[in-house]
Amino acid sequence: MYHETRAADGADPGGAVILGHGVSKLFGGTVVALEGATFTVKPRQFISLVGPSGCGKSTLLRMIAGLIEPSSGSLHVHGDPVGKPRRDVGMMFQRPTLMAWRTVLENVLLPTELVRKVTAADRDHALELIELVGLKDFAYAFPSQLSGGMQQRASLARLLQTGADVLLLDEPFGALDEFTRERLNLELLRIVAQFGRTTLFVTHNIQEAIFLADEVFVMTPRPGRIAGIVEVPFERPRDISLMQTVPFNE
């Protein structure tokens, strides 16, 4: 059962942000990591991608991010074929990828620094994001002084600082213990949703998947393909002021 797309390949007339048609990926010519994924992600949608371990979730995200190329099929972001990393697509991985010798603030500012001179306004914005993710008192701390969950908060602040309008979250809490992960989901996914950017969130936990999602893409076991798309029928509060806040300390 394949989801219908408006265009088989090329730019999408309906303004899809991500459009995949028959996207497959082989590694080393033999390992089928993903097979025939066909899907559409519309502007500002929050999509959860679920499926068992090894079904190709990370592979699909890495292709959307332009880190690896599809073996066949067509995959477009904002109407352009994927192929190289782009500024408007940001990705967050399962494990923190902070630079050890930089403070939280310096890490959050890094993507900006790579493209232009950092201004006072950039610093203020970064500090606001650091506060938003609950690290107000840790802006000048180094990653080694933070727990795994706190490092992921910092990674999220850095991702939001980039201004990317497509956010790819690859099991961002997968490496954390169950208890910490549940709390982080509640807090951080709400923050992500509040920004209203197009989001693809990978998890293998169905409860996490339906939390905040507009649609859930369900993938089959390996070789993975998108087997079904479940629309999550109820509205969720996207305004952070409506949301219960939980104290941050882990």
Positions touching ligand ADP (CB under 6 A) are 27-28, 31, 33, 51, 53-59, 222
Name the closest residue to Mg ion (Cβ). 58
| Cβ proximity to Mg ion, 57 vs 78, nearer residue | 57
Residue 66 binding: pick among Mg ion, ligand ADP, none (C-beta 5-8 Å cut-off by kind): none
Residue 14 binding: pick among Mg ion, ligand ADP, none (C-beta 5-8 Å cut-off by kind): none
Distances (CA, A) of 216 to 17, 35, 50, 182: 16, 18, 7, 18
- Tokens representing 141? 């701390």
- Tokens representing 221? 């076991």
The DSSP 8-state label assigned to residue 95 in this structure reads S
User: DSSP states of 98-122 as a string?
Assistant: --TTS-HHHHHHHHHHHHSPPPHHH
Distances (CA, A) of 201 to 61, 73, 211: 9, 22, 11
Q: Angle, to 10 degrees, between the axis of helix 120-132 and the axis of helix 148-161? A: 140
| Cβ proximity to ligand ADP, 62 vs 125, nearer residue | 62
Q: In the window 123-182, what residues touch Mg ion (CB under 5 A)?
A: none
Residue 143 binding: pick among ligand ADP, Mg ion, none (C-beta 5-8 Å cut-off by kind): none
Residue 33 binding: pick among ligand ADP, Mg ion, none (C-beta 5-8 Å cut-off by kind): ligand ADP
Q: How far is the CB of 182 from ligand ADP (least distance, A)?
A: 20
Instruction: Count CB neighbours of 239 within 10 A.
Output: 9
| Cβ proximity to Mg ion, 58 vs 162, nearer residue | 58
d(CA 208, CA 132): 21
Residue 95 binding: pick among ligand ADP, Mg ion, none (C-beta 5-8 Å cut-off by kind): none
d(CA 237, CA 250): 25
Q: In the window 41-60, what residues touch Mg ion (CB under 5 A)?
A: 57-58
| Cβ proximity to ligand ADP, 50 vs 130, nearer residue | 50
Residues in the site for Mg ion, rule: CB under 5 A? 57-58
